[in-house]
Amino acid sequence: MRLTLRATDLDGRPVVTLDTATEAGKIADVVIDPANGDVVGFRLRSQGILGLADPGSLPLDTVRAVGSDAVMITAKTGLVREGSMQSGLGAARDIRGDRVINEDGTVTGHVTDVILAVDGATVDVIGYEIEQPDRTRALIAMPDTFVISQDALLVSNSIELLPPDDLEAVARASASQRSADAA
């Protein structure tokens, strides 16, 4: 099942085990490797009194499917301690709020959400939602490889700003950029 969605759309989506049909938690957020912009997994919402118990994290390689109603995993043993998944990432942080700057050195905006393409267990970052300096929102599609650092996300001068509600336009633009890259 192919889906295009915002990372924030996954907030609260149940994580269900295929072995016992049990809810193992709820997705809180997607975790992205700041070195390359790839999805490494998901953080889960804290549960229980005061949210003290470690809700765990879900590495992407334990996910069997990201569906429209649930994220399916093989068994609860696929969850890892919250800190352990991020430990290999250096300074793991929220990509939201990052500046988006073009090659001329002009700030295009800052990241407000991440656009994901999901196909079964494959989850790719294909774009971002940005808020422009005039406070209007737009979507941008990203090629497979792009330059990102802890300071900024670098985009081309000719990047197309897509309407904020047209996720499928991001999917089309990202697919055509990737096939052009591959050619």
Partner 1 sequence: MRFSEGVGRQVISTKDARVLGTVRRFMVEASAGRVVAIQIQGRAGADLIDWQHVSNFGADAVMVSAAELLRGPTSPWEERYVRGEFDLRGNLVLTDDGEAIGRLADVDFDESDGRLRALVLDQGERPVDRLIAVGPYAVIVPA
Residue 114's identity, in one-letter code, is V
Strand partners, 2: 119
Least Å from the CB of residue 100 to partner 1: 31
The residue (of 27 and 142) whose beta carbon lies closer to partner 1 is 27
Q: By CB under 8 A, what part of segment 23-52 binds partner 1?
A: 23
Rounded Cα distance, 160 and 30, in Å: 25
Least Å from the CB of residue 124 to partner 1: 17
Rounded Cα distance, 123 and 46, in Å: 23
Site string for partner 1, 8-27 (x = CB under 8 A): ------x-xxxxxxxx----
Single residue of 9, 59, 60, 64 touching partner 1 by CB under 8 A: 64
For residue 162, give both structure tokens: 């897509």
3-state helix, strand and coil shares in percent for the chain, rounded to the nearest 5 = 20, 40, 40
Q: Indicate the helix (H) or strand (E) that contains 179.
A: helix 167-182
65 near partner 1, rule: CB under 8 A:
yes
DSSP per-residue string spanning 55-69:
--EEEGGGEEEE-SS
Single residue of 120, 143, 144, 152 touching partner 1 by CB under 8 A: 120
Site string for partner 1, 84-103 (x = CB under 8 A): --------------------
Rounded Cα distance, 47 and 26, in Å: 9
Least Å from the CB of residue 22 to partner 1: 5
Helix (H, G, I), strand (E, B) or coil at 176: helix
The owner of tokens 């897509």 is 162
Least Å from the CB of residue 55 to partner 1: 16
Single residue of 66, 79, 153, 171 touching partner 1 by CB under 8 A: 66
164 near partner 1, rule: CB under 8 A:
no
The residue (of 75 and 147) whose beta carbon lies closer to partner 1 is 75
- Residues lying near partner 1 in the complex (CB under 8 A): 1, 14, 16-23, 64-72, 120
